[in-house]
Amino acid sequence: MERFISKQFRNFSYKRNKLIVLGIETSCDETGVAICDNSKIIASYTKTQSIHTKFGGVVPEIASREHEKFLPEITEKVLKDSKLQYSDLEAIAVTSGPGLMGSLLSGISFAKGISQGLDIPIIPINHLEAHLNSAFIEFEELNPPFINLLVSGGHTQIWLVKDLFEYTLLGETLDDACGEAFDKGAKTLGLNYPGGPEIEKLAMKGDRELINFPRPIINDGTYNFSFSGLKTSLINCVNKDKYNLSDVAASYQEAIVDCLLGKLKNSMDDLNINIGIVCGGVAANQRLREKLNALDKTIIFPSLKYCTDNADMIAFLGEKKINNNSAKIGINFSAYSRGMIV
């Protein structure tokens, strides 16, 4: 089969002063669409699939169906909000992975349809790389190098960002992501999904120093994480002891936060880098923000809307890749559930 490359892309000029890019994000249970025009997000909308709450977690098959249902109407809304039409779009950026395969394929299929229908280029975007670059949406003056702590339901990683599109993975979780530790911890405590906000809300009423939960491998000399033992400790605590749930939630949250803080601080100290970026859904946690902001370092948090999954970062990174001649060309790509930045 001949590889599809749009006619417009064959004559596509990099380093353009102005470029209108449609971004699509469907890696999990948020359906996001955004438009980036000349490195500015001019319209965006994210639809969170609340249907999963009653199941206590994301159901992959339902998530993909919801994406297929929401994408057309959300795209129409974003185009209307930006006062643009489909014919004004010059490129499409879409999340290709990592994520849930069905969800990713829903977004990719929709994006490829628009690409072929309008004969405009499509750029696959790595979800993790988009998070690493999300701070640039608001902080244009930000200059690498800096350390990036990426914390979400599926990932817990520390990256050294050396320059634009130049990253080194310093450490990551050896088992569960911190967001997963929050979600499964909330389930153990009988709380709703998603668990992070539920534990945070309950923790506000509790004593975070009452229960000494473990901080796994916090002083092992690496930048890796481990949360499976902490989850086991929580289960044992709930089964054996009769603590107030708010105290359990506060102490459990404090242990997770201390693990994240310790590794980020160590990496910044060891590499003599004073700027740290915290991104991903767990970056919305106010206790994490409070403790990191108390460090004698420059810690930057993107706005809350850029911490969770969103299409703004997809459209933004897509435009950056095109203008820096680093975009992968053509429609011949597929989704991947796991994988690093390449």
The conformation of residue 137, written as its DSSP 8-state character, comes to G
Query: Does this chain's domain 7-133+308-323 share its CATH topology with 144-301?
Result: yes
pLDDT in tens, 277-293: 999 999 999 999 999 99
Please give the residue that has the higher pLDDT: either 159 or 60: 159
The percentage of residues in the chain with a pLDDT greater than 70, rounded to a whole number, is 94
pLDDT value at 272 more than 80: yes
Q: What is the mean pLDDT of residues 212-227?
A: 97
Question: Model's pTM, two decimal places?
Answer: 0.91
Distance (Å, whole) CA 284 – CA 289: 8
Question: Domain-by-domain residue ranges, the chain?
Answer: 7-133+308-323, 144-301
Q: How far apart are the first and last CA of the chain?
A: 25
Query: By mean pLDDT, which of 1-15, 30-44, 131-145 is the weakest?
Result: 1-15
Of residues 334 and 315, the one with the higher pLDDT is: 315
CATH architecture of the domain covering 144-301: 2-Layer Sandwich (3.30)
Question: What is the tens place of the pLDDT at every residue in 80-91?
Answer: 999 999 999 999
Tokens representing residue 102 in the block: 């069905």
- Tokens standing for residue 262: 């310790």
DSSP state letters, 283-337: GG-HHHHHHHHTSSSEEE---HHHHSS-SHHHHHHHHHHHHTT-PPPSS-----S
Top CATH class of 7-133+308-323 equals alpha beta
Query: Would the pLDDT of 275 be above 50?
Result: yes
Examine the pLDDT at 5 and tell me if it is beyond 80. no
DSSP 26-88: -SSSEEEEEEEETTEEEEEEEEE-GGGGGGTS--HHHHHHHHHHHHHHHHHHHHHHHT--GGG
Q: Looking at 5-19, 207-221, 249-263, which range is the least confident one?
A: 5-19
> What pLDDT was estimated at residue 48?
87
